[in-house]
Amino acid sequence: MTQNSSPIANEHIGSKINMILNKMTLEQKFRILTSHGLHRFYSTRPIENLGINSFKMPDGPLGVAYHSSWKKNTRFPTTKALAASWNRSLAMAVGVAIAEEVRALNKHMILAPAVNIDRTPLNGRTFEYYSEDPFLTKEMAIQFVKGVQSLGVGACVKHFVANNQETNRRKVDAIIDERTLHEIYLRAFKEIIIHSEPYAVMACYNKVNGIYGCAHRELIRETLMQKWGFKGMVISDWFATSNVKSTADCVNAGLTLEMPWPKRYKTKNLKQSFANGEFSEALLDDLVRRNLRVFYLTGAIGNVKNLPSGSRNTPEHQKLARHVAEEGIVLLKNDGNLLPLDTGSIDSIHLDGPNLKKKFGKFLYGGSSAVVPPYEITPYDALARRLKDKVRIVKNPSNADISVIFAGLNHSLGMDSENRDRKTLKLPDKQIRLIYDTLDVNPNTIVVLISGSPITMNGWLERTPAILQAWYPGMEGGNAIANILFGEVSPSGKLPITFPMNIIDSPAHALDSPRTYPGDENNRVFYEEGILIGYRWFDAKGIMPLFPFGFGLSYTEFEIVDAFADKVSYDQESFIVNVNVRNTGQANGAEVIQLYSHQLEPTVPRPPNELVGFEKCPLAPDESVNLKIGINIQDLGYYDVDSHAWIVDRGQYELSVGNSSRNFIRTVQIEL
Ligand code: BGC
């Protein structure tokens, strides 16, 4: 079985579906395009006499969300933490584990992964998304989808497309030029569709260039289905059809399932529109077939006995949650090697901050991704257990050898939360005051940031010797943070998003105009920065970020000894860059080697550097490795508006090898 194929045999699926379709009345075909009606928000109506069971799709992406299962399930670290691990195998493992939980609940599809590109760091859902970079996003999400679907559970890639802010998300109209749309915002969707064949895509709330996502024929029918060959379902985001005027527009666009209840797809509306000749029966059959195929692959039709039974809340899932949290934590600063701490050399520690004892896994907390776990280890829980009888926890920072402040955000509206964007990148004033007050009496102060999006640190950064970015680390988060603080694990996370010094440095905010964010008087947001998103913008404009994309320190040191490519010719689809890396420090650790491409004589304007490859390597002290980083030639290309396709120019390229987007150690020249 390949990782992305359902355990249910695919061979007879076409004829099986045709058999069901032939028996369906027109009315039954209409009914299969929508949900129950009131109160059952995450499933479709069964059609018993045809053997079609209710298709059930709980919310993700942090695990199986509570409001859509009424069960406590494993809460994994937030998507940003997974992305910060830069570890593809962890993305697959999390996909498998979530699918096991979905199967154990007798459900069929998880509403994940969420792959929108970080256009603005103020986006309230930044924590749910992978990255500002389409390459990192697709590399991780492809593995996640393969993992999920290896168990016969569907993955639903969302939100298609350009749902890049929460402010006014149901009305906003993203005005994007063709190249930017394809090169930045559609790219991850396309690659995920081609390489992992997800069973569903969720259409967004917003408009794209004047048309709502659920009625966007050019995007759904022509691009997703016809150009990319997508065979799955297209489901509306919840209530996203509310603002769409016409039933036929949704049908003709290719929307196969309206959620969470019938509106445009009320039987009476569909009947009327069909009677008016606004869509053909062949088109209707195509939508129905797409749904039936996924129902069949996931066991909502046919014999579920062929699917694994699944498991929930196992020690393995909890261990995986901790592991992801550990690999995702980013060490931003560590002056004088204050970290790691050693219980043998400190007598007292002061612990403080709003996130020290905070639990995040609560009902709808942060929106639709809220997973409520059976237990949640806070930093305080983990540290109190670890330090018992060894180090005193004291109330007054001036009496302590070390102080650790657990600062950051939470999932309240206006912080890291669905439905509302953040207003500022700053920490709340009270937290800034706490950091300064603590530093005034104890210079050995460490700040641990628990947040899902960037934070600015003007003023307090200079005075704080050590800073960790822990994201929302999931139900085992406290243990993961304690393991990092005390050096059991060396930090190996790298930022999947640029941390700007000030919001105005960020591409969507540079003009400081509502036109580019959050929208003009007609709710239009003009993506005037074009393809220069994230580090592409900071590099092109020569703006110094607070912490660059791809950045993260370790407790050990790595040397990139050399880097060289195989000889390449244009005909090859891929080539290998060899990078020899050595751990020259004293501790075990892992480095993420990153490759950025720069075309020497581009025929169209291109960003200075673009991520095209990476590999994570764990190394013991003195250990070396020859990393073979595969580069796909297609990833060196750009979207050409004349041919409306991706192309790769012949010529010279420079590949920079380093451990962040701003620290290149070697370069490799290649000619295509
Ligand atoms: C969110 C989706 C989610 C859906 C169902 C919407 O508000 O945008 O991500 O899957 O609700 O809960």
The single residue listed with the structure tokens 């559970």 is 153
Q: Which helix (H) or strand (E) holds 386?
A: helix 379-387
Catalytic residues: 237
Tokens linked to 209? 């260039």
Least confident of 9-18, 191-200, 377-386, 487-496: 9-18
Regarding the beta carbon of 166 and ligand 1, being less than 6 Å apart is answered no
Higher pLDDT residue, 491 or 5? Answer: 491
Residue 417 in contact with ligand 1 by CB distance below 6 A: no
User: Is the pLDDT score of 71 beyond 60?
Assistant: yes
Asked if 62 and 108 count as a contact pair (C-beta separation under 8 A), the reply is: no
pLDDT in tens, 499-510: 999 999 999 999
The answer to whether residue 523 scores a pLDDT higher than 90 is yes
* Overall average pLDDT of the 310-324 stretch: 98
Q: Looking at residues 184-200, what average pLDDT do you find?
A: 98
* Nearest atom (ligand 1) to Cα of 368: 12
CA–centroid distance, 368 to ligand 1, in Å, is: 5
Regarding the beta carbon of 380 and ligand 1, being less than 6 Å apart is answered no
Query: What tokens does 431 get?
Result: 């937290």
> 611 alpha carbon to ligand 1 midpoint, in Å?
30
User: Per residue in 134-166, pLDDT tens?
Assistant: 999 999 999 999 999 999 999 999 999 999 999
pLDDT on residue 571: 67
Protein residue with least CA distance to atom 9, ligand 1: 368
Interval 604-641: pLDDT, tens = 999 999 999 999 999 999 999 999 999 999 999 999 99
**Does the pLDDT value for residue 356 go beyond 50?**
yes
pLDDT tens-digit profile of 397-456?
Answer: 999 999 999 999 999 999 999 999 999 999 999 999 999 999 999 999 999 999 999 999
Q: Which residue's structure tokens are 């939100």? A: 159
Residue 363 has pLDDT above 80, yes or no: yes
pLDDT top residue among 568 and 285: 285
Q: Give the DSSP letter of residue 256.
A: -
Neighbours of 407 (CB within 10 A): 25
Reply yes or no on whether the pLDDT at 9 is more than 60: no
Per-residue pLDDT at 68? 96
State yes or no: pLDDT of 10 exceeds 70: no
What pLDDT score was predicted for residue 453? 98
CB 75 within 8 A of CB 312: no
3-state SS, residue 580: strand
Residue 14, pLDDT > 50, answer yes
Q: Other CB atoms closer than 10 Å to residue 481's CB: what's the count?
A: 26
CA of 227 to the centre of ligand 1 (A): 26
Pocket-testing residue among 62, 107, 238, 364, ligand 1, by greatest number of atoms within 8 A of Cβ: 238
Give the pTM. 0.98
Residue % of the chain over a pLDDT of 70:
98
Give the per-residue pLDDT at 36: 85
Q: What is the distance in A from the centroid of ligand 1 to the CA of 113?
A: 12
The Å distance, Cα 236 to ligand 1 centre, comes to 9
Percent of all residues in the chain with a pLDDT value above 90, rounded to a whole number: 95
- Cα(206)–Cα(492) distance, integer angstroms: 36
Structure-block tokens of residue 109:
């599809």
299: Cα within 13 Å, side-chain hemisphere? 25
What's the N-to-C CA distance of the chain in angstroms?
A: 36
| Residue 143 confidence (pLDDT) | 98
What CA–CA distance (Å, rounded) separates 280 from 259? Answer: 22
240 Cβ closer than 6 Å to some ligand 1 atom = no
Closest CA to 167 of 473, 419, 345, 403: 419
pLDDT tens digit sequence for 553-589: 999 999 999 999 987 666 678 999 999 999 999 999 9
Q: Is 279 in the pocket of ligand 1 (CB under 6 A)?
A: no
Query: Does the pLDDT of residue 1 top 60, yes or no?
Result: no
Q: Which residue has the tokens 């020569």?
A: 542
Whether 98 lines ligand 1, by a CB cut-off of 6 Å, is no
Probe residue for ligand 1, chosen from 111, 156, 239 as the CB with the greatest number of ligand atoms within 8 Å? 111
59 lines ligand 1 (CB under 6 A): yes
Nearest CA to ligand 1 atom 6: 238
Closest CA to 367 of 328, 415, 406, 318: 415
pLDDT at 235 over 90: yes
pLDDT, residue 306, reads 83
Predicted confidence at residue 644, as pLDDT, reads 97
Q: Is 348 helix (H, G, I), strand (E, B) or coil?
A: strand
What span, in angstroms and rounded, lies between the C-alpha atoms of 657 and 652?
A: 16
Is the CB–ligand 1 distance for residue 237 below 6 Å? yes
pLDDT at position 11: 59
Q: What is the pLDDT of residue 8?
A: 62
